[in-house]
Amino acid sequence: MDEATRSLWRRRALFFAWTFVGAVIVAAFFVAAFFTRFSAIEVGDPGAVLLLVPLLTGILLGILLTDAEIVVAAGAGVACATIAVALVAVFLFSPLLAGVAVGSNVFAAYSISRVALSAVVLFPLVVVGSVIGRGVGDLFLPSPRLKQQLEELREETRRWHDALDRLESRQTAGREVGGPEPPERKD
């Protein structure tokens, strides 16, 4: 494998690793918020956890993906939310999947409502958080690609300023030698 291919696979692996880690964190806090009495994690107010953890995880995910395009950060948010909802569903239905509990209407209603709540809350918050995090990351931690583009833009601006200075100095020198005065503008 050449270096470009290796770098591409490394970026993809980091993308999926950060996305999966974010999904596990969000799913763990959601499950802890759903079962506060039985949780090893003291979450305090479950509503705050349900709103803040996805947003903060999305922001962190966006900051970690500053080398990628903003569309990739939004895609990472969607992937993170999808994986988190799947993990919440697996955890909620795990007694039924393991065969240690019998499914009832109450169990199904509770589990499905929690999975639906997770989907409705997670998707917008994680995606918006990842896009905001990407913007914050570009502002404070610009990627090498962005730094190179800014340096190229600065160099081009310097060339334009130098060309304008030379043109202006030629016009000024032409006036001093005795060239005609430019006509006055009437606005």
- Reading the chain (187 residues) residue by residue, the pLDDT tens digits are 788 889 888 888 888 998 999 999 988 888 888 877 776 767 677 777 788 888 999 999 988 888 778 898 899 999 999 999 999 999 988 888 887 777 788 888 888 888 998 899 889 999 999 999 988 888 887 777 778 888 999 999 999 999 998 888 888 877 765 555 656 666 5
Give the CA distances from residue 60 to residues 25, 44, 49, 65, 95, in Å, rounded to whole numbers and listed in that order.
Answer: 12, 22, 16, 9, 32
* Res 168: pLDDT: 87
pTM of the model: 0.72
How far apart are the C-alpha atoms of 136 and 140, rounded to whole Å?
Answer: 6
Nearest residue to 92 via CA among 70, 114, 73:
114
* Res 160: pLDDT: 93
Tell me which amino acid residue 66 is.
T
